[in-house]
A and B are shown apart, each in its own frame.
Chain A
Amino acid sequence: MKISKFLVFSLAILLLVFPLPLRAEKPIKIITTTSDLASIAKEIGKEKVEVVSLSKGTQDPHFIEVRPSMVMKLKNADLLILVGMHLDVWIQALIDASRNHKIKYGQPGYLDVSAGIEKLDIPTSKIDASMGHVHIYGNPHYWIDPENAKVIAANIARRLYEISPEDTSYFKKNLNKFNERVDKKLIEWKKKLAPFKGQKIAVYHRSWPYFTNRFGFIVACELEPKPGIPPSPGHLKEVIERMRQENVRVILMEVFYDEEPARFVAQQTGAKVVVVPNSVGGAKEAMDYFSLVDTIVEKIARALEG
């Protein structure tokens, strides 16, 4: 008798306690490989998602050291968002180690947001290490073009509708708001850079074609002789000559590259070195996607004005 009473009691407790976490609305756990994707995912998911980025804006997204603690982040993730185009290949070892089947290639929890991007720099010649660090699917630094941010956002939104169909209208509303804000800001950014349209700039790494195309700059030369190959004295000499000939006034580079070669070239040519974050969190003021582009636009405009 005592036992059956105890059983009934414990069963009642179980029934009461167990559905509780089910009833409470759990946010969708999203892990992104880069901070930019995290920022955009947050704009679309707002309070219905929990977003963590595996890398920081101060790190080079090509080379992220994978660590066991990252496995824990992926283990419980509902959605993994990656840049794709072979930029974040380091994620593969982590996906396997996490044993989370939701986020494997081909599953709804695996989202490569490069789908639908108009890809630039797709190699048409030899693809091997003699050409430097070549990405066979084209240049993967596409997030820096605000028009592409809209593609990324649409990709994320569509996947969120799939994961949580009941919140479709909520995500759709956020997507529209995001797109509107991008459009509004884009006009502002273009206006700011309009006086410098058609100007030639130098870059450190080939990571800016999407940005320069959007805002009408021409990349005259790169400090790296080939993508991913450190600047050599011989190549820098050529760069200096070219910059003098073509009156290049700005060297654009990311925060995580060595500033020394750029400073040297700047000294020789009188150009200005513009060190900018190319990912959210790469500088203090680049807190989200909009302030990231704000920072880049602001710094370039200031350098070209002076």
Chain B
Amino acid sequence: MWAYIVRRIFWTVPTVLGVVLLTFTLFSLVSRDPARQYAGKFVSEEVLQSIRHKMGVDKPAFLNFAAARQRGVAGLLDSQFFDVLLFRFPESMRYEQPVWSIFARKIPVSLAIQVPVFVVALGLELGLALICAAGRGRWPDYTITVLAVVGLSLPALSIYLAAQWFFGAYLELFPVAGWDTGAGAVRFAALPILVSVVASLGGGTRFYRTVAVDEIYSDYVRTARAKGVAEREVLLTHVLRNVLIPVITNTLASLPALVLGALFLERIFQIPGMGGLIVEAIFNQDRPVVMAAVYVISVAYCIMLLITDICYALVDPRVSLR
């Protein structure tokens, strides 16, 4: 098992490097003139230069030979590529603050919404999936499956907009948009949380249902029944343990996305979280923020996948001995 874990850790390194390369390629190599993109058409060349300097795009792409002559290795590595690799991000163009401090403000807000959504949605999805597996082929299974497919086919944006209008503007049950700090946040968070759970139920339920139903048709379930185990025990003891393995994989791997916040949810409900930040940064062509967000979240995702694999090795006895 330890060999497996070490191997996995080893494998993460090239992947992270790959992410660095990807970020670098997209933001430095492919994109044409980020300064002009930011500033628009009617700016002088001087202003553009200063913007370029602020964004850090006036540096060479890979290795800075010019600076190396003066500052040695530190100078050599003063390039766009190493800026990304070493987490050296310039300040946000719009806020004029270091990217990290902006993230530190926004992430907790996103989490305040995403964590409850995650927990509630997971619980509901697993429960519904087990109900489907228990009553497979009969009406609970059919109705839940149909509802799940319907939910999957509706664009999430429409659900958010419709809920915002119906519960916020029409019924006036919840505030339409906005945020408050501390305890006041609860009433602003309520509707986004509800809506987000409903919108994501479809996909998760269908996935877990497939897993649960697959397990329920396994041979070992037949053996358990032949031993005289009650149907409920079969589901909750035998099937659930086997279902948990893909569940863990699925959920742990989606945790970094929580930080991402729901881009659209936050935009529509005017919630000052990471998602809203990224959306805004796109509109404002705020390159440092977009780049940093993409990079940081991706690296976090890699690490999360690594942790998932390790947990998997701990939980599934078949993996332990490889």
A in complex with B: no
Query: What residues make up the interface of B, taking CB atoms closer than 8 Å to A?
Result: none
Query: What residues make up the interface of A, taking CB atoms closer than 8 Å to B?
Result: none
